[in-house]
Structures are given as structure tokens and as C-alpha cells.
Homo-oligomer: A and B are copies of this chain.
Amino acid sequence: MSRHLHLNAFVMDVGHHEAAWRLPESDPGANLDVEHFVRIAQLAEAGTLDSIFFADGPVLRGDPRFRPVERLDPTLLLAAIATRTEHIGLIATASTSYTEPYEIARRFASLDHISGGRAGWNIVTTAGDDAARNFGRDGQALHHERYERAEEFVEVALKLWDSWQDDAQLADKDAGVYADGDRIRAIEHEGAFFRVAGPLNVSRTPQGRPVLVQAGSSEDGRAFAARHAEAVFTAQRSLAEGQAFYTDLKARTRAAGRHPDAIKILPGIVPVLGATEAEARALERELDELIVPAYGLKQLSSFFGVDLSGAALDGPLPEVPAESEIEGTKSRATLVAELARRESLTVRELIGKLGGGRGHRTFAGTPEQVADTIEEWFRAGAADGFNVMPAVLPSGLERFVEHVVPILRRRGLFRHEYTGRTLREHYGLARPAHRQLEVIA
């Protein structure tokens, strides 16, 4: 079987560009409108994409003065989308730092049942003191401590998802026997962070368990991904960096005892499409000019965890902390600082570069050019596919589906129709076998 691209649509209100809501075409209230997201999902499905994805955090992020910041619970949005679509995979972020594993295991198992096997969980540890302060803490736990908790959290979730065997239900009406009690087991987990008895109140799911996704590229994040992730979203700005990351993570996955194909690496790309390159660049410029500078400075400050609100817009990026000193989103901060240094950007220019995709790679061009760069990264061992982050939604996704997808199909890189029904089938991932638990209820 030849290797095929995987494409995920990363959905965020009216687009990833910070100023997308200010375009004439945009409905600034769309992020509270479930039908907006249903339309986007149906569009992604019309393009036979693998999946859609919502980022998330239990906190008000961003400055509401400068852009829409309301965020509906993505698991509820995806449940609604599930019954309005048939094939598209449905991935939501949920935090391991501020929730309980029983709750999250159950919620994603429910989504997998509701969608007939299309659920994915993007596992995050949630950086930031602001989120911690919504949950009784003064500030976030240290980076490595958050990952220790995440490790045990996933271990508990895996046990809960296997607390029912696939064939536990007998449903024998005549005998009055619904399930075989021996095929449903308590987990009796006792660890440093969690004690959870189980079993789950949701049976084993169509996919065995939801697809596990991860999006941190720090040292801790890569180690975690190598052990657990089946898909990885990552920000890589150059082909060389993309290749290095890809090679490293595949090697780590092999070292963790897993087949390198069991992890799909999907760098982010913000495609800004035009019929001509000039038209694409004009749209990019139009968007960048709509960014309010005060907002950009606030965003930069949050990347580095320092106050940059007084920075001169036309000067260079001031000194910022090194990755080792950052307890937030480590890898993204490093990436942004390196970008500014390498391209000798002023603060204003850096804000423009980040406005499109918060550090992800923006690519303005024609559909052919976008297809070319996707193919180049895919063939050069930098990507198994892409996390497509339209600058403007729904129009950016519509253009991608209408104009880029057909090119990728013609080149034999992308499916013409769905051949599977589950997200695992789209991603070419095996359904995990049930692991018998040792502890008996």
C-alpha cells in the first residue's frame, strides 16, 4: 500500500488569524453558534479530510477587547457535530491537570460511542497560572510535574477503557442476563496522583479507545508522545526543522517499543490561498494590518511569561527567558524567539508573523503552491500529513477543500473517498486489543 497523506482541520472560531473576525465576511459571534461549526465539519467531510480538531483550556485566554475569546466546551460541540456527519474524525483537547481521569475517560468514551468510532483526545497539561487559578491553585505546577500527572492520568484512562471486554454484553432476554459479570472488571488503580476503583460506566468503545493525540514538542512532550500518542500536532517552521523533529520522534517511538507508523506527525500549516500568489499575499497583508498592536504585545508577553507591553514596536525583540526557565509552553516560546533572531524581525514584524497562526507556519500562495509545499514536506520525511489551520473560517477551509484537495488527489497523495468509518481507519491505525486487567472486581 502506498503511503497517503493525513489532513486534520484545526477549527478555531472564525479562523486562526487573530484579526479574521474583522473581515467583512466574518460573523464575530460565530464562535457561540453551533451551526457555524457543523458547517465547517460538513465542509471538511466533503473534502474527505481525516478529522477536525478543537484546542481548549479551562480559562479565558486572550484579551476580549481585541478578538472573540469565548470558547464553548469542545466535547459538546463534537457530540452535536457527530450526529450531523458520518465520517469525519472528531478530536477535542482536554486537560490532565484540572480534571479527573474517570470523568475524561467517560466523556471521550461517550463521544466514541455517539460518533460510531470517530473520537480523538488531544492530551494537554495546560500551561499558565491563569488556568490554575480557576482550580484552587496559586499557579501552575512545574512543567515536569504536569507531565508526571499526565502520565498516570493516561494510564488510568487506558485501564478504564479496558474495564469492559468487547463481548461483555450478552443481552439474553430469555434468561434475564444482560452482561457477563466476569468480563467487566474494577481497575483498583492506586498511584501517586490518583486512586480510581472503576469499572467505567461506559462499555468498550467502537475504536477500542479514542485516538490519543498530543501536541507538546518539549523534551517532556516528545517523551510522552513517543509512549502514547497516535497523532501529533506540532509547530515546525522550516523543512529542516520539520525533518529533524519527525526523525527524532519516530526514533523515540521505536525506542519506546512501538512501530513508527503507529504515530502520525502532522505539522501545522496556515494556508492563505489566492487565485494568484499576489492575491494570496494581499489577503495576508489585509489580515496582518488588522491586528491591533497592543494585542500583539500581549500575546508576545504570554508566550514568554514576561511583560513586553512596553516594547518598542519597531525595535528588536527584547531579551526573553530561555526555554529551561519557562514553565509554560516551552517549545513554542523557543520557536518564536529563534524566529525573531534568525529573520532579524522587529517586534511589529514578529507580531504580524505570529498573528496568522501563533507560531505555526503561514504559507500564502496559490493552491498549486500550497499543494507543492505539502507534497515536499510529506516526501522529504518531515510530515505524515498536516494540521490545516485556515486563517479565515469557513472560507479558508472551503478554498482548501475546493482547490488544494483535488490537486493532492490527482497526485495520488490523498483519498478520493472514505474507505473506513472510524478515525483509526482514516489514520491507518490498528484497533487496540483489549488488555485483560489483573485485578478482579
Contact = CB atoms under 8 A, between A and B. Distances in A.
Interface stretch (A97-105, A337-345, A431-439): A97-105
B58 A106 contact: yes
Interface stretch (A166-174, A217-225, A253-261, A311-319): A166-174
Given A72-B113, A75-B76, A196-B135, A64 B102 contact: no
A195 B66 CA distance: 28
A80 B77 contact: no
A184 to B, nearest CB: 6
A251 interface: no
Interface of A: 19, 21-24, 26, 28-29, 32, 34-35, 38, 57-61, 63-73, 75-77, 79-80, 82-84, 98-100, 102-103, 106-107, 110-111, 113-114, 130, 133-137, 168-169, 171, 173, 176-181, 184, 194-203, 290, 292
A103 B58 contact: yes
Contacts of A59: 201
Nearest to A74: B110
B201 A21 contact: no
A100 to B, nearest CB: 6
B32 A113 contact: yes
B99 A103 contact: yes
A179 B64 contact: yes
A72 to B, nearest CB: 4
Given A21-B173, A75-B76, A197 B64 contact: no
Contacts of A83: 34-35, 38, 80, 83-84
Given A35-B83, A66-B177, A137-B195, 14 more contacts: A21-B178, A29-B169, A58-B102, A60-B198, A60-B200, A65-B180, A66-B178, A76-B111, A80-B114, A98-B102, A99-B103, A130-B197, A134-B196, A136-B194
A70 to B, nearest CB: 5
